[in-house]
Amino acid sequence: MATVRVLGGPGTGKSSLLIETAATRIAAGLDPESVLLLTGSGRVAAATRGALTARLLGETPSDLPVVREPLVRSLHSYAFAVLRKAAERAGDPPPRLVTGAEQEGVIRELLDGDIADGARSWPRELRPALSAAGFVTELRDLLARCAERGVDPAHLQRLGRSSGRPQWVAAGRFASQYEQVMLLRASVGTAAPQATVPALGAAELVGAALEALAVDTELLAAERARVRLLLVDDAQHLDPQAAELVRVLAAGADLTMLAGDPNQAVFGFRGAEPELLRAGAGRTIRLTRSHRCAPAIARAIAGMAAGLPGAGWPTLDCRADDDGDTGSVTVRVAESAHAEAAMVADALRRAHLVDRLPWSELAVIVRSASAAAALARSLAVAGVPVTVPAAGGPISDQPAARALLTVLEATAAGLDGGRAEAVLTGPIGRVDPVSLRQLRRALRRRDADLTDALTGTAPPLPATLAKPVNRVRAVLSAAIRSHRRHRDPRYTLWQVWERSGLQRRWVRAAERGGVDGALAERNLGAVTALFDIAEDYVARTTGATLTGLLDHIAALQLPPVAEAGPAGAAVAVLSPHAALDRDWEMVVIAGLQDGLWPNTTPRGGVLGTQQLLDVLDGLGDEVSARAPLLAEERRLLIAAMGRARRRLLITAVDSDSGDAVSLPSPFVAELAAHAGGDTADPPCPQPAPPVLSPSAVVGRLRAAVCAPDGTVSEAERACAASQLARLAAAGVPGADPAHWHGLADISTEEPLWSGAQHIVDLSPSTLQTLSDCPLRWLAERHGGTGARALNSTLGSVLHALVADSAKTGDQLIAELENVWAALPFDSPWYAANELERHRSMLSAFVAWHSAGRHELTEIGTEVALDGVVAEAADGLPAVRVRGRIDRLERDAQGRLVVVDIKTAKTPVSKDDAHRHAQLGLYQLAVSAGLLADGDHPGGGRLVYVGKPSATGATEREQTALGPEDIPGWQRAVQAAAAATAGPQFVARVNDGCQHCPLRPSCPAHTQESS
C-alpha cells in the first residue's frame, strides 16, 4: 500500500514516468490486468494507451498475455465500467449515459412546467430568469457540481436553509423532481432495453460508482484484488468524489503513483482541487527538467509560478538544451484589436512560410470563446487556415441545420408562407431578395403565392424563376414521401439532406478552403451534429416520430461540433481549457487583456454555485473571493504557456481610442520581464504590421501602381507593376487588373425596356423618388434600401391607427400602447422616447382632424388607386398608377381632396408642396376618373403630424389642378417614368440626400468632395 506522488511542471515527464513504471512492472512479470492507469480525459487515455502499447511491444513483443480489461482508462470510463459490472452482478440492464444536451432538454421542460404553474417554488427575484437559456445551463452546472460533491437534493435544501440562500432550497426541490423524472423516463418504453435503468450524466458517474462499490462489497474486494498497480495522471484535476474513488482503490493496491502539477490546477470552477497531491504518507518525487518546453519558455513559466500563493510546489530547471536552442518568448502589444490580429497572422504566416513549420504545429490560445471566433475569422481572412471553434447555442439557430429543420417542419406540420419563404431563401433554395421579389410578383400575376409554387398548384413560371422552386419542391417531395411511408425520422432527414445537394457543394467549398471553406466546414459540422441528435433520439425513444424529433431538437443546445478541417492542415484556435493535454511547436496566447485574463468576476451566477462550493469547503463569506480566482487565472495562463515547445508569442491591445478602452492585463508586464525585458513595463503599443500574405502584398502593390501622380516615383510604380504581373501570372487572386473593381467593361448599354407598348407602373411614392433622383430610385428598387425596418414599421403602425378616424384620441393612444411592447426596439429608453413622440403625433392628428371638419368631409381612408393616368405619346411611355391614398375628403365645392399623412419631422417648403410629384399624381388619378367618388380634383394636402402647429399638425397644400394643368403634369409624370428605361440614371442632388443609403458611394457627392 505504498503511495508515491510525482510532482512536476509542463513537459517534465510525469506521464512518461507512469508509462515507464507500468511497462517495467509488466516486463518484470506483473499481470497486465492488475495495472490501472487513470487519466483525466478520454483523449489523454487514448494517447497514453497508444504510448504504453508501443512501449510494451518494443520491450516484450511476443510474450504479452491477452488482456480483457484496458490498462489505461479515463476516470469516467472506469466508473462506468464499475457500474456495468455492478449491474451485471445484480442482473440489471447496463447503465445508460445521457448527454449534457439531453439533460438540458429535460431541465428546460421541467422549468417550463414550473413557469406555467407560476414558479412559486422559486424565489421571486429569480422567476424572470427561469425562461432564459443561460439559466438552464447554470442550473445543470449546479446539479453537476452537487453530484460531484455527493450532495443530494435534501442536503442541498438543508444547506440553502442554513446559509440563508433560498435559491439553493429551490434548486434542491428541483433536483429531487429532476431525479424522479429521469427515473420515470427510464422506466417508460421498455421495448428499448437501455431505457430501463436510470440515465446518468457524466458528473453523476463517479458518485454512482462509489455507491455501487459501497453496496456491493464483493465487487469492491474483486476490484481491489485485481488492481495491484494504480497510476493516476493529472491528479490536480480530480474533484473530491474522484479523489475518493482513487483512495478507495488505492487502499488495495501494492503501489499507487499520483502524478500532477498543482500549478496547472485549472478546474476549480468544477470543484477540482489538488488535494491528493498534497504531502501525506509516502514519498514525493519532484521532476524539474521540462523535456517539452524550451528553456526560455520554462523560465517564463517558473517566473509566473513564483507569483502563486503557497510555496513548496516544484519549479522548473531552465538550462539550455544540448543543441543550444533556448527557444523564445516574445511579448507584443498592439495599438488596436485589428493590429493585434495582424500581428498574430503575420507571426503565424512567417512561421509557416519562412520557418517551414506545418500549420498543425501552430496554435492560438484565447481566453474567451467570442474572442476566439472573432480572431479565427480575422486569421482566415489573412490567409491562415484555422480550425473554427466549436459552435454552440440552440441547434435551430445554426443556418445549415435550420434549413433542414424547416423542411422537416413543413413535412410534419404543413407548408405555410413563412416556411416557404425560409426554405426558398435558405441554403437549399438560394433565392436572393431581388429574385424573391420577382418571384412573388410573377406569382401574384398568376393569382398564386409561394406556398402554391412549392406545392405545385401554381401555373408554370419562367425558367429562371422555376429553377429554385423546383429544387425546393424536389426536397420537400422526398421528405413527404418518406414521412407518408412512416419511415423513421432519421431516414426522412437523410432524404432531405441527400436531395438538397448541399453535401456536394459544402464538401467542395471546404476542400477549397478560405472563408467560404471555413463556413462550409461549420455547416457540415452542424449537420453532422443534427444527424447525431436524430440518431440518439431514435435509439432512445420507442415510437420515435418526426414531430417528436422536432420537439426534442427545439429543446436542445447544439453539442460541440467536432473540429473542422483536414487533420494537420490548420492552426488550432482554442480556449486554454481545450488546449490542455496538447502541445505545439509554436503557441500564440492572444487577447491578454485587463478584466479578461485574469477574469476575477465572481463565478456561479444567480444560483451562487461557487459560493456553494465554498460552503462545502468550509469557507465563510469573509474569505476573499478574488484571491482564489486570481490564482486560478494565473495557473490557467501557466497551463497555456506550457503548451508551447519552442516558441511562445503573447499579445495584447493597449488602446484608449474609440468607445472602449482596452488595457493589457497585469500579466503582460510580468511576462515581459520574464521574457528577458529589462523593465516590468509592457512594451509600447505597435501599429498593424504588413502581413506576409498574398492579399496584403497585392494590396500594397496596387496602392503603388494606382497612387496619384507625384506621390510615388515612376521607378517604384514600374517595379510594383512588374511584381503584380508576376503574381497575376502565378494566379494570385486580385493581382490581375482584369479583376479590379471598376475596370470591367460595361455589360450592356441596352435600355431596360423599349417600345411604345410598354406601360410603366408607378406608385405615387416611387414617382416622388424618381423625380427627386433617378439613381436612388434604381438602387432602392433593386434592394438598395437602408436598414429602416423599425422606422417603416412605426410608420405603418401610425398610418393603420389614423386610418380609423371614428376612434377618439384616447382610444388611438390606448391601441398604440397595446402594440408597442411587440415592436423590436433595441433599447428601452429609445422605445420610451418614440412612444412619447408617437403619442403626440396621434394627438396632433386628432386635433388636425377635428379642426378641419368645417371645410372637409371624409369619404374614405386607405383608398385604392389603379389605372392609367397618361397614354403613350411623343416618345413618352404610358403610365399606370397603383397605390393607396391615406385619406380622401370632399371640400365645400364637392371636389375630391387628397390627404397624405407624413411622419417626418421636417415639412417640405410651401413652394415644393405646389410641385410635389406624389400629390400631383394623386390629382391626375382623380381627374382621370380612377376613383368612383368623382373626377374633379380639389387639391392635395400633406399633413405633418410629427410637426405640431396651431391647427394640430403642420399642413402643406397643393392647389387644385385645373383642366389646363393636366397636360403639363401628365408630361412631367411621363418624363419621370421614361427615366426608368435607363441605361443611364442621373444622380440628382436633393434635400433627401442626407438620408439616402447610396450617399457614401454616390457619384454626385464623390465629385463634390474630390
Residues that bind ligand SF4 (CB under 6 A): 773, 775-776, 987-990, 992-993, 996, 998-999, 1002, 1004-1005
Residue 45 CB neighbours (<10 A): 23
φ and ψ of 897, to 5 deg: -110, 130
3-state helix, strand, coil in the chain (%, to 5): 55, 15, 35
Distance in Å, CB of 1007 to ligand SF4, minimum = 10
Distance in Å, CB of 769 to ligand SF4, minimum = 8
Closer CB to ligand SF4, residue 908 or residue 1004? 1004
φ and ψ of 295, to 5 deg: -55, -40
Residue 650 CB neighbours (<10 A): 28
Closer CB to ligand SF4, residue 503 or residue 792? 792
Q: d(Cα 435, Cα 438) in Å, to the nearest integer?
A: 5
φ and ψ of 324, to 5 deg: 80, -5
Chain position carrying cell 485549472: 266
The amino acid sitting at 258 is L
Residue 892 CB neighbours (<10 A): 10
Closer CB to ligand SF4, residue 734 or residue 784? 784
Q: d(Cα 837, Cα 822) in Å, to the nearest integer?
A: 17
Distance in Å, CB of 975 to ligand SF4, minimum = 17
Closer CB to ligand SF4, residue 368 or residue 990? 990
Distance in Å, CB of 1005 to ligand SF4, minimum = 6
Closer CB to ligand SF4, residue 951 or residue 990? 990
- C-alpha angle 741/745/747, rounded to 5°? 105
Closer CB to ligand SF4, residue 333 or residue 987? 987
Closer CB to ligand SF4, residue 742 or residue 828? 742
Residues facing residue 944 across a β-bridge: 902, 954
Distance in Å, CB of 774 to ligand SF4, minimum = 8
Q: Which of 658, 574, 671, 623 is nearest to 364 (CA)?
A: 574
Half-sphere CA count of 827, side-chain side, radius 13 A: 3
Distance in Å, CB of 999 to ligand SF4, minimum = 4
Residues facing residue 868 across a β-bridge: 880
Distance in Å, CB of 788 to ligand SF4, minimum = 14
Closer CB to ligand SF4, residue 405 or residue 1002? 1002
DSSP state of 906: S
Closer CB to ligand SF4, residue 679 or residue 1009? 1009
Closer CB to ligand SF4, residue 43 or residue 995? 995
End-to-end CA gap in the chain = 86
Distance in Å, CB of 706 to ligand SF4, minimum = 25
Q: d(Cα 172, Cα 160) in Å, to the nearest integer?
A: 8
Q: Which of 665, 692, 660 is nearest to 333 (CA)?
A: 665
For residue 475, give Cα distances in angstroms to 482, 509, 920. 11, 21, 50
For residue 321, give Cα distances in angstroms to 289, 295, 590. 10, 7, 27
Distance in Å, CB of 763 to ligand SF4, minimum = 18
**CA trace torsion 541, 544, 550, 555 (10° rounding):** -10
Closer CB to ligand SF4, residue 94 or residue 997? 997
φ and ψ of 17, to 5 deg: -65, -40
For residue 1003, give Cα distances in angstroms to 249, 978, 989. 80, 22, 10
Give the containing element (helix H, strand E) for 72. strand 72-74
Distance in Å, CB of 775 to ligand SF4, minimum = 4
Distance in Å, CB of 293 to ligand SF4, minimum = 60
Distance in Å, CB of 772 to ligand SF4, minimum = 6
Going by C-beta distance under 8 Å and a sequence separation of 6 or more, which residues neighbour residue 881?
762, 763, 764, 767, 865, 866, 867, 868, 869, 921, 924, 925, 930
Half-sphere CA count of 497, side-chain side, radius 13 A: 17
φ and ψ of 384, to 5 deg: -105, 115
Q: d(Cα 767, Cα 745) in Å, to the nearest integer?
A: 31
| Contact predicate 106/181, CB 8 Å | yes
Q: d(Cα 488, Cα 864) in Å, to the nearest integer?
A: 51
Distance in Å, CB of 1003 to ligand SF4, minimum = 7
Distance in Å, CB of 768 to ligand SF4, minimum = 12
Distance in Å, CB of 773 to ligand SF4, minimum = 3
Distance in Å, CB of 799 to ligand SF4, minimum = 24
Distance in Å, CB of 1002 to ligand SF4, minimum = 3
Closer CB to ligand SF4, residue 457 or residue 765? 765
Extract the C-alpha cell encoding 383. 490567409
Cis amide leading into 983 (omega within 30): yes
Closer CB to ligand SF4, residue 668 or residue 773? 773
Closer CB to ligand SF4, residue 463 or residue 787? 787
Residue 817 CB neighbours (<10 A): 12
| Secondary structure of residue 781 in the 3-state scheme | helix
Q: Is the dihedral of CA 233, 235, 238, 242 positive or negative?
A: positive
Distance in Å, CB of 1001 to ligand SF4, minimum = 9
Closer CB to ligand SF4, residue 446 or residue 788? 788
Closer CB to ligand SF4, residue 90 or residue 989? 989
Closer CB to ligand SF4, residue 110 or residue 993? 993
Could you give the residue ranges of the DSSP H alpha helices within 432-500? 433-445, 450-455, 463-484, 489-500
Closer CB to ligand SF4, residue 217 or residue 1009? 1009
Q: Give residue 383's Cα distance to chain centre.
A: 22
